[in-house]
Structure 1
Amino acid sequence: MDVIKVAILGFGTVGEGVYRTIQTHGDELQATLGKRVEVASILVRNKQKSRDIREEVLVTTDFEEILQFPQLDIVFEAIVEKEPTFTYLKQAIQKGCHIITANKEMFAHHGEELLKLAEEHHVSVGFEATVAGGIPVIQTLGQLLKINRVQYIQGILNGTSNFILTEMREKKLSFQEALTQAQENGYAEADPTNDVEGFDAFYKSMILSRIAFGEQPNWQEVEREGITSITSELIETAELAGLRFKHVASIHKAGDNLTAIVKPVVVGKEHPFYHVEGVENAVNVHSDIVGRITLQGPGAGMFPTASAMIEDLVYVCQTNSSGPRPEKSGTATISDKNNETKQQWLIHGHVKNYIHPSITWLEQINETTFIVEATKRDVDQLNQQEQSLRYFTILGEYEPIKKPVKVL
């Protein structure tokens, strides 16, 4: 019987999830692929640690031992950081292996190089798990990009940050209390910087940008902000207005200008992100024919991420394709709405008799919180005068309750 032999690099939460899924869903994989999938080797950091792995599987700390296997078809990579994973995957491709990765930081930096190398060696790259856990956003974009032109993308891309914001709102916890809860539940690492400072969502948005628009914005020009400055007071104030804080990555084109923003926003009840809670992720794709598509599902955890990697296994075996790689010309553009188009904003802080012809003061929530309609340039100017202000974009239409605005 033909066998597909795979190696797994890393045996943490994701690597173990891939291994266990192959064991529990072997019959389904064989029925789908016509071949049995067999884990031949696993790369670990500590060989002495007790693990529930079959005796016939090579468990090693040396990647060279894995490369020396006479038959190796697919390498799953479930480690972290850019190196040595990038080097490992290049070597696997050069050996003639398909690769499947969940490493968003490495792939954001080196994905294009890996895709080109794989093309030269006639193998495939699966990277569904790099963006939104169990949500099939990569394959969905691949289908959309055949005819539809993507206009812009918004996403809740980090389950840990979304969990923290949900806990702060629902249980009235402080940021630190909610973070501790996330760590106890296994959603956040001991060092949560990548999650709570927005780096994780940033890397994922760069991967999405490459798929949807054929390019990435200048990384140094991306506005990136995490959730560490979101206080219980801000969350409670937003609730008074019927709004919820979410950490959202947005990518859009204005002419030839590709812009990405990764930061906290507030969403109204009509927006699809309003009910995305806990560790859930969601991606909103706007395209010129189908309009808006929202994908939502588990964005973190052992089996959601393993699910994406196993589906990639099936995809690369059946199609020998590295997924969507659109050209720059394959997308539509929209007007620049960051600086020139009026938006609604939640403004928090003390404002004294500030009058600006382009700012419409819609509603006063309490003594220090207002809803306004203005361009980003206008609220930036307001912030320069009143430097203690915080302001957040409102996604979705906000309907004022007609409270008087005392600032005027």
Structure 2
Amino acid sequence: MTDIHVALLGFGTVGKGVYETIKGHQTRLKAILGKNVKVTGILVRNVEKHELQDDGVLLTSNFDEILNLPKLDIVIEAIVGREPGFSYLKRSIERGCHIITANKEMFAYHGKELLELASRNNVACGFEATVAGGIPAIQTVRTLLNVNKIERIEGIVNGTSNYILTKMREDGVAFEEALQAAKEKGYAEEDPSNDIEGHDAFYKAMVLSQIAFGEQPEWSAVTRKGISAITHSHIRLFSEWGLRVKHVISLEKGVRGIVCSVKPVLVDPSHPLYSVEGVQNAVSIEGDIVGNILLQGPGAGKFPTASAIVEDLIQLNAKQGCYFDQEKNVRFKKEARHQWAILTKQTNVFIPESLELLGRATEKAIFVSGKEKDIDKLLETYPGLNIYQLYGQLDNEFLAKSLHTSSRLERKAAVPKGI
């Protein structure tokens, strides 16, 4: 019986989680694969900072030594940043190794090239861990929804931002205090900008787009907004309305191409993302047959991410994990109208005819319905506005309870002095 020989590139939190999972689950892996899985090499930046009890594992800072191992079947990459991970994986494919990566930034930039190179070299590429940690979002979209037409994907895919927003609402604290709590718990890095400004979520959205639609949108056309401008007064107001603010990725393929956004939105209790709290992640998938599927669970961490990587290892060995770039079964939609909450301190805002006035919360906000392009034009005219898209629909009961509605709402000075 031949072993499956694995090398790990990176031995931080994720790398150690994979190593410990493989070591601790040999019986289960052998039962599934019919073979032992053996870690034969680990690439680290500084050998002196690491210690292994297993003398049979090569610990090195030289990637050439990894690539020259006499037996090597799968290379698992868990390095931060676009390089050197991309170059390492290219060379691994060229040697004939299957690859697995957890590096969402690198894969957002170079995933298509790696997939094409893997196809030409008859090896497989697994990347489940690049999106939402232990949640099987990639496998679900790629292999379990083939007859369904994918209509829309939404998700909370960054646990740091979700924790901060939950903390602000539940404990009534300001953004900076909630961020500090996230750092103390290890949810946020010392420099948290990648998470709180939406870069991390953006990369994950690009990976999902490639799988769901066979392509990515033009990056410059994607709306990307973080959460650092959200105030406690905003969140308190939303709570009065029974709404919650969530940092959400949204993907939909319309007649003019893929529409993608990464931004804070308001969700009502009927929306599947409403109850996703703390560091949890969730991906909501709309199919024309199945309807809505919500995948929810831990989106990061040592063992959730290791779980995704080891499950990819199983799929690769079964020759089911090669996610080739092919066109998905997609339903094209016309540009939709959405509902929006507009908050401002300005008193002379003119709401254009292209936006339907739904109602007004006295001296606080106005609700409108319209297309995103018309909201963008409004922001160009009044850049100081705070505008949140609503996920879910404001029904008549909500409007009657929370807003002062009138068929004669004036468009000039429609947003009074508020928060």
TM-score computed with the length of structure 2 as normaliser: 0.91
Determine the C-alpha separation between the residues in 2 that align with 1:355 and 1:221. Answer: 24
Which residue in 1 is equivalent to 2:344?
Answer: 349
The question of 1:388 aligning with 2:384 is answered yes
For residues 77-116 of structure 1, the aligned pairs below 5 Å read: 77-116=77-116
Q: Secondary structure at the match of 2:332?
A: coil
Q: Alpha-carbon deviations, 1:175-202, whole Å to 9, x = none?
A: 1221222222222222212111111111
Structure 1 residue 93: deviation in Å? 0.8
What amino acid is the match of 2:109?
A: H
For 1:331, the aligned partner's letter is V
Deviates more, 1:174-183 or 1:157-166: 174-183
What is the CA deviation profile of residues 323-375 of structure 1, one whole-angstrom value per residue up to 9, with x for unaligned ones? Answer: 363316x32111112xxx2x221111135475654544444445222333333
SS in 1 for 2:261: strand
- 1:373 is matched with 369
| Closer/same/farther in 2, CA of residues 355 and 66 from structure 1, 3 Å limit | closer
Q: Quote the offset at 1:381 in angstroms.
A: 4.9
Q: Mean alpha-carbon deviation: is it higher for 367-376 or for 303-312?
A: 367-376
> Paired residue for 1:315?
315
Q: Closer, same or farther in 2 for the Cα pair 1:258/1:381, shift >3 Å?
A: closer
Moved more, 316-325 or 243-252: 316-325
| Residue number in structure 1 paired with 2:282 | 282
Match of 2:172 in 1: 172
Other-structure match for 2:187: 187
Other-structure match for 2:196: 196
Does 308-317 or 37-46 show the bigger shift? 37-46
The amino acid across from 2:367 in the alignment is I
Alignment pair present for 1:335 and 2:334: yes
- What code does the residue aligned with 1:83 have? E
Cα distance change of structure 1 residues 122 and 366 upon mapping to structure 2, 3 Å threshold: same
Q: After superposition, where does 1:128-277 map in structure 2 within 5 Å?
A: 128-277=128-277
Q: Distance in 1 between matches of 2:38 and 2:119?
A: 25
For residue 21 of structure 1, what is the amino acid of its counterpart? T
**What is the one-letter code of the residue matched to 1:269?**
P
Worse overlay, 346-355 or 98-107:
346-355
Q: Secondary structure at the match of 2:292?
A: strand
Which amino acid in the other structure matches residue 388 of structure 1?
A: G
- Long gaps (5+) in structure 1: none
Contact 2:119 2:324 in 1 (8 A): no
- Unaligned 5+ segments in structure 2 are 411-419
Aligned sequence identity (%): 51
* Alignment partners' CA distance in 2, 1:324 and 1:137: 16
**1:14-67 per-position Cα deviation (integer Å, ceiling 9, x unaligned):** 111101111111110011000011111111111111445423211111111111
Task: Give the TM-score normalised by the residue count of structure 1.
Answer: 0.93
Distance 1:18 1:288 in 2: 36
Change (3 A) 1:12 1:134: same
Aligned to 1:10: 10
Aligned mates of 1:88, 1:384 — CA distance in 2: 44
Q: 1:305 to 1:359 in 2, by over 3 A?
A: same
Amino acid in structure 1 at the alignment position of 2:126:
G
SS at match of 1:265: strand
How far apart are the structure 1 equivalents of 2:380 and 2:123?
53
Alpha-carbon shift at residue 383 of structure 1 (Å): 4.2
Q: Distance in 2 between matches of 1:402 and 1:198?
A: 30
Counterpart of 1:347 in structure 2: which amino acid? Answer: I
Give secondary structure in 2 for the equivalent of 1:169: helix
Paired residues in the alignment total 403
Q: Aligned to 1:371, what secondary structure does the other structure show?
A: strand
Shift of 1:125: 0.5
Matched residues in 2 for 1:381 and 1:352: separation?
18
Is 1:346–1:369's contact at 8 Å kept on the other side of the alignment? yes
Q: What's 1:325 paired with?
A: 325
Moved more, 259-268 or 364-373: 364-373
CA distance in 2, matches of 1:64, 1:238: 55
Contact map agreement 1:13 1:301 (CA 8 A) in 2: yes
Return structure 1 stretches of 4+ with deviation > 6 angstroms. none
In structure 2, distance between residues paired with 1:385 and 1:111: 38
Residue 105 of structure 2 aligns to which amino acid in structure 1? E
Aligned 1:11-30 pairs, distance under 5 A:
11-30=11-30
Matched, 1:54 2:50: no
Conservation of the 8 A alpha-carbon contact between 1:350 and 1:386: no
Shift of 1:146: 2.3
- 1:49-101 Cα offsets, whole Å, 9 max, x none, are 14454232111111111111100111110111111110100111111111110
Q: CA deviation at 1:145?
A: 4.1
CA positional deviation for 1:116: 1.1
User: 1:41, 1:59 within 8 Å by CA — same for their partners in 2?
Assistant: yes
Distance, in Å, in 2 between the alignment partners of 1:333 and 1:144 is 20
Q: 1:386 deviation in Å?
A: 4.6
Contact 2:343 2:364 (8 Å CA) reproduced: yes
Distance 2:376 2:76 in 1: 46
What is the Cα-based RMSD across aligned positions, in Å?
1.9
- 1:382 CA drift (Å): 4.5
Is contact 1:351-1:368 (8 Å) kept? Answer: no
Tell me the equivalent position of 1:72: 72
Contact 1:132 1:281 in 2 (8 A): yes
